[in-house]
Structure 1
């Protein structure tokens, strides 16, 4: 994005396509605040945005999660000549309001849709979940299924994340199993990671470990890391050792894994093992993350 911004700044005559490309680039590359700033700069030059710029802007606002900014964008859009009834614009508007906590506005827009699709349903499900309404999110997802919409891999990631965040173990298992057996979708490492997080948070560490071991492909470090953190929370040194040493193979230079194992040992009074972990880190030239104690 630095190169794109440099080229943009070198342009003597910037048209709407250039502005759109830069805003979209920032929104898609995890720099939503920069996208909002560029839009504000564009507005000061009296350049009218088109629907594509507004969709990118709403995507950026969804990532920022600021209700005040979302209301400002919503108001700006309502005063423009852009047709909000267009499916992609309306979907972005619903998602922005839901992600920024304005569930009343998101729900009203959602209910007024002539035809609801998978994207709009998932936006609402995510919004309900991050606003502490996990049960309602699951109910809405179930309603979507009864209406005949077939969820894809992304939709299952959404609902499994909801179940994990809300501690809905049985519901999570139900959706995970239906993904495989009813909709015939192969769970990705991300889906397994969601299930491991769900099981770990509910204290079912052995079930989470067995699920990872049952995978046909290697689980990514994020899944193992979630389980290791749960082992620390539950003071499970036996399983924590197995998980930590797997992570040492996957991420040999990640100090966080060593610190977590050291904390597990410390919590169970195994001080010689704490010392051994520190020695191992020193031998491999691994430095502890500043500001993180061995005892958490």
Structure 2
């Protein structure tokens, strides 16, 4: 017996120092050779390490050779399944444990409940909760905390609160789980109340409250909690930066970014994507270059944001540089979101040959990639090719959405493809049963107006089920000037005077229409109205 204990202790020491799967397998061979496969304590240690270094099937194979496994052994395998396997596999193992008379304890249930919470399986979670009650372990702080977490994540806040209130002992994780539950359903009053009652708080609990307010768009309260937080970490800074970016306040986002003592890849990503999404592409590129100068390696999400910024700039040289940078990085461009952004950037920046090559070599083309290509063709005056590609998309069985129809109608408008535009507008309404949005109507009005069909464009605006936005009327007024139509010009301008009383553009266009027909008295009347209302024509600027 002493020699067995020595061998067991020796292998336990080897396990503590083990870092690779190959070394783990060597230790397993020694366990078998020394006849220690039934040493529950040693095998529990082995399975815990195997869960991290090897595969679950390997851990399971080792487990199956043990006779009458202890609760610790079952729990070690359950934890591995919870962390690395599917929900059904974890629950199946738990059921098997119960059937084979494995004694479930307070360390068993947190893993199973966590698996239920991860999949949002509240029905199965309730069954596990019932089992915990029957086993008499529901009063354990770890079991109770896992149940609060389960019900909170499944939006069953009343159940979460009932479990929370019934806990005899609570720790900071229990309190935080309850705050998460309230914040998850948008009840920041409840979340703040629990947060205020917490006997102690950690960074996670502070960040949950900040994140909850940010999700609701309540940046005032989010900033208040942020300022009160002791020891702000990278997560709290990033949450606030992301919140400001999504609300369009890039000045506040940049200020906090500069204040952050530590900047990780997620924080850089939040700032770059914020600039790209808010229409500041040059700033996004500038921040990316600053990040690169600090030797921070970008991930695929930053590269997608950078490509979005390049698409907005429309600079071919910059797009080629980004494409080259990406190709020489370790990022896999075959990832769908990366490839879609790469196609979109090249298409919008004029490198249609590269965009087409990437598009045609895609294993599976989707609606997003088609729309990127169609938009690129449209921007660069290839309307007929855009129409042909849209028809090809339909022939491949892809169903267009509202965005896809906006893209193709815009392409038809840019190239003055009136019949094609009419066809797609009718297709959207009758075949795909879509109610056209104001943007769809605006595209059609722009198309008809550009092509001289002013009366039809006007009738289309009048037939809209909702009030057309000023952009649609503005497109028609511009066309009235182009085609020298005074009658419609007056009608449309008077409508715009009501919709945009503070805009000088409509007055200037009507004045120009009158001037084209030498109606100087009418020109004078329009200019006097502008002066009365304090409106001024914005002077144009050109540079050579």
TM category, shorter:
over 0.9
Q: Hey, what does 2:389 align to over in structure 1?
A: 140
- 2:353 and 2:453 map into 1 onto residues whose CA distance is 36
Please point out which of 330, 334, 342 is paired with 1:85: 334
Return the offset for 1:131. Answer: 1.8
Return the offset for 1:287. Answer: 1.9
Q: Write the deviation string for residues 65-93 of structure 1: whole angstroms up to 9, x where unpaired.
A: 11111111111111111111110010001
- Please list, as runs of the form range in 1=range in 2, the aligned pairs for 1:125-136 lying within 5 A after superposition: 125-136=374-385
Q: Would you say 1:228 and 2:450 are equivalent positions?
A: no
Return the offset for 1:132. Answer: 2.0
Q: Hey, what does 1:282 align to over in structure 2?
A: 531
Higher deviation after alignment, 205-214 or 121-130: 121-130
Return the offset for 1:278. Answer: 1.2
Q: Hey, what does 1:111 align to over in structure 2?
A: 360
- 2:522 and 2:350 map into 1 onto residues whose CA distance is 46
TM-score (norm 1): 0.97
Return the offset for 1:282. Answer: 1.6
Please point out which of 397, 404, 425 is paired with 1:155: 404
Q: Hey, what does 2:508 align to over in structure 1?
A: 259
Seen in structure 2, the aligned counterparts of structure 1 residues 267 and 6 have a Cα distance that, compared at 3 Å, is: same
Please point out which of 327, 330, 343 is paired with 1:94: 343
CA RMSD of the aligned region, Å? 0.9
Q: Hey, what does 1:205 align to over in structure 2?
A: 454
Q: Hey, what does 2:520 align to over in structure 1?
A: 271
Seen in structure 2, the aligned counterparts of structure 1 residues 271 and 125 have a Cα distance that, compared at 3 Å, is: same
* 3-state SS of 1:253 partner: coil
Q: Hey, what does 2:255 align to over in structure 1?
A: 6
Q: Write the deviation string for residues 98-137 of structure 1: whole angstroms up to 9, x where unpaired.
A: 1111111111110110000000001011111222211111
Q: Would you say 1:250 and 2:499 are equivalent positions?
A: yes
- 1:20 and 1:102 map into 2 onto residues whose CA distance is 26
Q: Write the deviation string for residues 14-41 of structure 1: whole angstroms up to 9, x where unpaired.
A: 1111100000000000000100111111
Q: Hey, what does 2:279 align to over in structure 1?
A: 30
Return the offset for 1:233. Answer: 1.0
Unaligned runs of 5+ in 1: none
Please point out which of 30, 35, 46 is paired with 2:295: 46
Unaligned runs of 5+ in 2: 1-249
- 2:323 and 2:537 map into 1 onto residues whose CA distance is 45
8 Å contact from structure 2 (residues 381, 414) kept in 1: no
- 1:149 and 1:129 map into 2 onto residues whose CA distance is 20
- 1:270 and 1:261 map into 2 onto residues whose CA distance is 11
Q: Hey, what does 2:105 align to over in structure 1?
A: none
Return the offset for 1:290. Answer: 2.6
* 3-state SS of 2:387 partner: helix
Equivalenced residue count is 292
Return the offset for 1:291. Answer: 4.0
- 2:290 and 2:261 map into 1 onto residues whose CA distance is 15
TM-score (norm 2): 0.53
Q: Hey, what does 2:75 align to over in structure 1?
A: none
- Please list, as runs of the form range in 1=range in 2, the aligned pairs for 1:182-201 lying within 5 A after superposition: 182-201=431-450
- 1:211 and 1:176 map into 2 onto residues whose CA distance is 12
Return the offset for 1:285. Answer: 1.8
- 2:445 and 2:540 map into 1 onto residues whose CA distance is 28
| Larger CA Rg, structure 1 vs 2 | 2
Return the offset for 1:270. Answer: 1.4
Taking CA–CA contacts closer than 8 Å with sequence separation of 6 or more, which of the two structures ends up with the larger relative contact order? 1
Higher deviation after alignment, 194-203 or 261-270: 261-270
Return the offset for 1:259. Answer: 0.7
- 1:235 and 1:98 map into 2 onto residues whose CA distance is 36
